[in-house]
Each structure stands twice: as C-alpha cells, then as structure tokens.
Structure 1
Amino acid sequence: MKTFQLNGTARTDLGKKAVKGLRKQNLIPAVLNGGELVDLPYNGTLKPCEKLVELTGGKKGIIVTDFTVTKDSVRKLVYTPDIFAVELNIDGEKKMAVLKDLQFHPVTDAILHMDFLEVTDKKPVVMDVPVQLEGHSEGVRAGGKLSLSMRKLKVKALYTNIPERLVINIDNLGLGKTLQVGDLHFEGLELMNAKNAVVCAVNLTRAARGAQAKQD
C-alpha cells in the first residue's frame, strides 16, 4: 500500500456544542483506536486527548485518541478507490494507522466523523482491498459477458503485506463459469469472505447461446 501523510490536532472538548463549532471551522472530529490491548486496571498515564475504553470482560481495554483533521487534508484519502496506510502526525507524535470507518451527513454527504485504527508490523489487520481483473477470458472471446460481483475483498494480513489491489488473472475463465473466493490464493494474505462467494463470472449472452446451440 501507498502511505498517506495526515496531520491532526488533539482535542479534549468532546461535547456536541464543541463538535458543531469544529465543523463550522471545516474541521472533522476523528478518533484513533489503539492497536494494542492494555491490561485493566491501567497503571499508565493518559494524555488529555486520550481515554481508556474497556472491552467486554473488563480485563482488557484500548486507548482511544481524540483529534481533528481538516476537510481539505483528507479529500484525497476519502474520495478515491485506493487504499492507504496512514502516517498520522498528531501534534508531533507519529503513528501508523488505517482508515476503518466514515460517517457522512445523510443529506449533504459531508464527512461527519472518521475512525482510524493504529497498526503495527506485528499484528494483522483486516481491510477491504479493491479487485483488479486482468487478462482476456476464454468465455468472453467465445461471446460471453464478463461481470464483476465483488469489487473489494476482505483481507487479513500485516498492513505491510497488503497490496493496493488484488490482481486476478481471468484468461482461463470459460463461458458460463464463475470464479469464487475459494479459488483464489495470495501469498501472505488470508481472504475473509465466504469461500463460495462469486467474485466474477462469464455469463452466457443470447448470441453465445445461439452459437452454442448451432455447435450442438
């Protein structure tokens, strides 16, 4: 993956009034969820912009950092089909992260909130990775029509091993045939989608059916 550099500013005022004020300044509230679990009770020191979120069971938690980013700074991160590893710089402290969730205004489509997950080169992360088909399908050459059912696949791997796209060769995909998740293999990556989920297919067209009938 490419790396996207993003500057943020820590925030401590989390009330609704404060959030409205931020948005009037073209700022977007965001959180960075810590990638490592911490033991509870927590004996460390939290910064003013950090809070401890207890997980189910009460013995572990994660540290969440509240911050803001400008609308302009995230435009090329959000409005693109590409995926990125994000180098977050929050008031001078750098951490690697991936974008996990976005909230949009239901009417204006303005970004209301962003969720990031801190990543390391030791713990796998799950991401949706775009699919890119390459090659010339046998079925298409025979008159079929190629359809792509899954534009992204859910991948689990170290973030350093996740590619920008999953390139799938379809040269041998015949007429009326499908390519399922279980048919795919990428070194260092675990595909999390259902094995029988159809990624792409070459469908029979009326012309292809006619040609096939004549051959029969």
Structure 2
Amino acid sequence: MKTVVIEGQLRTGTGKKAARDLRSEGKVLGVIYGGKEEVHFTAPVLSFRSLVYTPEFQIAEIKVDGKSYRCILKDKQFDVVTDALNHVDFLELVEGRQVVANLPLRFVGQSVGVKAGGRLVIKMKTLKVRTMPEHLIEGIEVDITDLQLNGNIRVEDVKQENMEFMNPARQPIASVVMTRALRQAETEEKKGK
C-alpha cells in the first residue's frame, strides 16, 4: 500500500492567535489521535498535497520530533473563503485495535446490461469498513460483469475477507439503467406489432 511521509514539528502554542500565525507561515495544523496520546503538530501545506487531493486510500507516516506514527486520514478542514487546507485529523493505527475507514471502490469488467445498450450509474465511490490495520487495502474491487439491464449491485453483494461493511446492506452501489434511445426503440417495437 502507498505510504505518504509527512515531516512535522510538535505544536507548542495553542489558541486562535497561535493557529493564525502558523497558518500565515504556510503551515497546516494537525492532530494524531487513537494511540497512547494525542499529538498536536504542524507541517508545511505542500506535504499534505499527495494525501489530501487524491481519491486513493493511503497510509500516512507522520514524523514528529524523532517519533514516527502510522496513521490514516480521518478528517480535513478547509478555509471557507480561500479554500486552503486549514486542519487535518489522523487516526493512529494501533496493532490489535480495529479501525473504521472509507475505502474506494474499483469497478472491473464490462456489464452485460451496458453491452445491451444500458448506461452504468455509479451510486457510491467508497465503502465504510471496520477492520484490523493489517487488513487495510488500497481499494475494494467490485465485479460488474453480471450486472443486467435495470439491475443493481448492493453492499451485500460485495465480498471482502476480514472486513465488516458499515453501510446498509441493501444500499445500491451501482446500477445499469435504460437509456432514452433504448426506451424509444422498445416503444416503437411495441407500436409496430
């Protein structure tokens, strides 16, 4: 799995003024929780680019004052006016303790319904899972080869070992809908009979 390394410094000052000063220096405030202690740190805004602005699921290795923390990104906050990254929350991966993460879905195969003239509609891009840190993967593959016209693939249809899905089981992930041209062709065929 891809790992992004972020070099940070321990944050000493707290409060709005200290946070504003750090942001004006081009730094992002961050916190690591879920381990033995909460770690408040700052790092340059550019070091978060490959982690925040991607749809991929990645592990972050954050180095703060000689210590290294393996984490996953939990939350990010942006400035409402400038849309600049303001704050990042990380969850430390601890051996033997389950984590909840949003893993991206990767659709493989060509649907039978699409070949028959339908259109594939993706309804979900990620699945929320609970698993042990060692079972985290970059993405969950969903085979859509057998997806029929007007059919759905639901959360319960996805099979992945060592993971518990937190989404409702009957929630649709993808479906193949009839296109307007296909509907018109069917209507004209019925009129012709």
Look up the match of 1:51.
Answer: none
Is 2:128 aligned against 1:148? no
For 1:188, the aligned partner's letter is N
Please state how far the C-alpha of 1:209 moved relative to its aligned partner.
Answer: 2.8
Look up the match of 1:27.
Answer: 27
Alignment of 1:105-120 (within 5 A): 105-120=79-94
Contact 1:85 1:159 in 2 (8 A): no
Alignment of 1:75-114 (within 5 A): 75-114=49-88
Correspondence for 1:167 among 138, 141, 147: 141
Alignment of 1:175-214 (within 5 A): 175-212=149-186, 214=189
SS in structure 2 of the partner of residue 123 of structure 1: coil
For 2:4, the aligned partner's letter is F
For 2:163, the aligned partner's letter is L
Cα distance in 2, alignment partners of residues 71 and 122 from structure 1: 32
Cα distance in 1, alignment partners of residues 23 and 76 from structure 2: 15
Cα distance in 2, alignment partners of residues 212 and 35 from structure 1: 60
Please state how far the C-alpha of 1:122 moved relative to its aligned partner.
Answer: 1.5
Look up the match of 2:16.
Answer: 16
CA-atom RMSD, angstroms? 1.6
Cα distance in 2, alignment partners of residues 172 and 212 from structure 1: 22
Please state how far the C-alpha of 1:34 moved relative to its aligned partner.
Answer: 2.8
Identity over aligned pairs, percent:
38
Look up the match of 2:131.
Answer: 157
Please state how far the C-alpha of 1:7 moved relative to its aligned partner.
Answer: 1.1
* TM-score computed with the length of structure 2 as normaliser: 0.92
Give the length in aligned residue pairs. Answer: 190
Gaps of 5+ in 1: 37-62
Cα distance in 1, alignment partners of residues 75 and 111 from structure 2: 35
Contact 1:134 1:169 in 2 (8 A): yes
Q: Which runs of 4+ in 1 moved over 3 A?
A: 210-216
Cα distance in 2, alignment partners of residues 160 and 82 from structure 1: 17
Gaps of 5+ in 2: none
